[in-house]
Amino acid sequence: MNRIEKVFQTLKQKNQKAFVPYIMAGDGGLKSLQEKITFLEKAGATAIEIGIPFSDPVADGPVIQQAGIRALKEGTTLRDVVSAIAEIRPIVHIPLLFMTYTNPVMAYGVEAFIHDIKKSGVDGLIIPDMPIEQEDIISPYLEEENIELIRLVTLQSPLSRIEAIAKKGKGFVYAVTVNGITGSRSGFNEKLGEHLKKVKEVSPIPVLAGFGISTPEHVEEMISYCDGVIVGSKTIELLEKGDYQGIVNLIDASKTTIKL
């Protein structure tokens, strides 16, 4: 059982929901990464998703794309991020996940990449452009090192595919809440709640909603249907503005008791 499984087991025992913020490694320089991670842990984040800057981020909206561009201008590389996490890991206790794309992993070398992120203390991996039909190129190495591959399901995914995806993991299912890329939204599809309930019903592991969640009200709405939320673009916006209280407010919203 790795840190991801352990933290969700604890949340279930306490009847609590998860809040996973997303940050871009190297945005503001890699020297700022430790400060951001330790702040988020202290503020109550369940785990932290760490984006790896990449020149062709097909799932990312404008805010995350710009954060990636800033990080690339700082000269941030995947190897630099792996090294930085190795230095930070001893003082951070919550799960850390990498969000990257297939190309950087292949360029690094799959086996070497998995070996190095395990050594640095990474607990999970999200690769949005790698469908389950192609994940055999990496999943055996991840299983060997006890690193969770977090798989995504979308509003367009048939129920049979959602079931197949959910049965593959031990961490959590990443339920995408919009049709399209990341970024803040004013609202969501009226059928989203019904969709999330269906994903939750068929999944043997926790379900977290992500994409477009940007207000405490959004957080409260999503946790009424599933096990937690992932908040990316808004977290980056608030960090850039120095609005740390805004992030605390989002995290606190995930602690709200929902009466169904």
Please name which of 22, 34, 142, 44 lies closest in space to residue 94, comparing C-alpha atoms: 44
Please name which of 197, 205, 258, 192 lies closest in space to residue 226, comparing C-alpha atoms: 197
Catalytic option among 5, 27, 60, 148:
60
Question: Is residue 56 annotated as a catalytic residue, yes or no?
Answer: no
Instruction: Give the tokens for residue 143.
Output: 């299983």
Q: Can you list the positions of beta strands (E) in 52-137?
A: 96-99, 124-126
Please name which of 76, 82, 146, 77 lies closest in space to residue 120, comparing C-alpha atoms: 82
Q: Tell me the C-alpha distance between 61 and 55, whole Å.
A: 13
Q: Tell me the C-alpha distance between 130 and 61, whole Å.
A: 18
Please name which of 173, 221, 170 lies closest in space to residue 250, comparing C-alpha atoms: 221
Maximum alpha-carbon separation in the chain: 48
Instruction: Give the tokens for residue 82.
Output: 């792996």
Helix (H, G, I), strand (E, B) or coil at 234: helix
Catalytic option among 27, 35, 41, 49:
49
Question: Is residue 129 annotated as a catalytic residue, yes or no?
Answer: no
- 208: amino acid identity, one letter: L
Q: Tell me the C-alpha distance between 216 and 222, whole Å.
A: 10
Helix or strand (DSSP H, E) at 48: strand 48-51
Which residues are part of the catalytic machinery?
49, 60
